[in-house]
Amino acid sequence: MAEVGELITAARQAWSDRDLWKAKGKLEAAFDLEPQGEWLARARLLAGVVARELGDTHMALTYLHGLMSGWDMYPDSKPLMEGACLYNLALVRMQRREPHEAIRLYEQAEAAFRAQGMDDYLRQALQNRAWALCGLGDAEGAREALAEAEPVAKSQEAKWQQEVGWAYLALVDGDLDSVLELGRSIPPEAPALIQAQVSWLAGRAFFRMGDLVAAERFADLAIQWGQESKDTRRINDGTELLRECRQQRTQGA
């Protein structure tokens, strides 16, 4: 199993370096050697994450459901990996435009993270559930999730993510000035993912205001930041907004 472990470790390093195709190749080589026990659990979880980030939601579901169905083969891995697996399944469902199923999975992930005292993972699940609820127009549900995430949002990036969540809630509530104020308050050193979300929110606000030129500009920015962060959800959101802007401009011509 030494070679299997080396391959999976190398795959994780490649994933950390954002070299997703290299990570995928290392994992495929590891699976060819038929890993067992904890190594199999690690490989399935990481393969699900890599497939999701590459936009292959079918394979992501295959790996993640395989992990969930095999806890009896690696029982010691369940306490530490179950929450992460459920969380990634929720992210996949969001990519597939299945927000109701994603919300159900986020709630299950939150329960698993609470049981293990994994506060930062809990925070991420809560913030993502709030985002999904905002997309459905459920302002009250989103507000409750963000309020629960507030005390565990401790790092600077976590705090920025929290601000993004409150801004999306402001968009749902129709407080467009607050959305644009967030865009002005996020510093340029914020991560690409945060910049992509902020750009998309600003684009949505301008779209509602009827300023299609500004909305298109921020949709383009959302796509560019999404590509830099290698987040297909942000790329898809920006692309959809850009399409709506152009459609609106065509109809108004």
205-222 pLDDT, tens digit each: 999 999 999 999 999 999
Phi, psi (rounded to 5 degrees) for 174: 85, 10
Q: Are residues 135 and 237 in the same domain?
A: no
In the listed set 154, 169, 201, which residue is the last one of a domain according to the structure? 154
Query: What does the CA dihedral 92, 94, 95, 98 come to, rounded to 10 degrees?
Result: 100
In this prediction, residue 250 carries a pLDDT of 84
Report the 3 state secondary structure along 151-180.
Answer: HHCCCHHHHHHHHHHHHHHHHHHCCHHHHH
Q: Are residues 71 and 180 in the same domain?
A: no
Give the chain's domain count. Answer: 2
179, two tokens:
């959305």
Instruction: Calculate ∠ Cα 84-162-110, nearest 5°.
Output: 30
Angstrom distance (rounded) from CA 202 to CA 181: 9
Per DSSP, helices labelled H in 70-152 are: 78-95, 99-116, 119-135, 139-149
125-146 pLDDT, tens digit each: 999 999 999 999 999 999 999 9
| Mean pLDDT, all residues of the chain | 95
Q: Look-up: residue for tokens 């902020």?
A: 198
Q: Are residues 161 and 113 in the same domain?
A: no
Q: Are residues 251 and 167 in the same domain?
A: yes
In this prediction, residue 249 carries a pLDDT of 83
Q: Are residues 84 and 172 in the same domain?
A: no
Q: Are residues 167 and 113 in the same domain?
A: no
Q: Are residues 68 and 150 in the same domain?
A: yes
Angle between helices 78-95 and 57-69 (to 10 degrees): 150
Give the percent of the chain with pLDDT over 90. 91
CATH for 51 = 1.25.40.10
Q: Are residues 71 and 6 in the same domain?
A: yes
In the listed set 135, 154, 173, which residue is the last one of a domain according to the structure? 154
pLDDT averages per 10-residue partition of the chain, 253 residues: 89 95 97 96 98 95 98 96 98 95 98 96 97 97 97 95 95 95 88 95 96 96 93 91 92 67
> Contact, 31 vs 8, CB < 8 A?
no
Q: Are residues 122 and 159 in the same domain?
A: no
Q: Are residues 64 and 140 in the same domain?
A: yes
Name the residue among 67, 37, 64, 34 with its Cα closest to residue 51.
Answer: 64
In the listed set 134, 154, 174, which residue is the last one of a domain according to the structure? 154
> Contact, 57 vs 92, CB < 8 A?
yes
Can you give the residue range of the structural domain that contains 30? 1-154
Name the residue among 39, 34, 64 with its Cα closest to residue 50.
Answer: 64
Angstrom distance (rounded) from CA 49 to CA 64: 8
Name the residue among 139, 138, 113 with its Cα closest to residue 124.
Answer: 113
Q: Are residues 189 and 142 in the same domain?
A: no
Query: What does the CA dihedral 112, 71, 61, 109 come to, rounded to 10 degrees?
Result: 0
Q: Are residues 99 and 28 in the same domain?
A: yes
Q: How many CB atoms lie within 10 A of CB 223?
A: 22
- End-to-end CA, the chain: 65
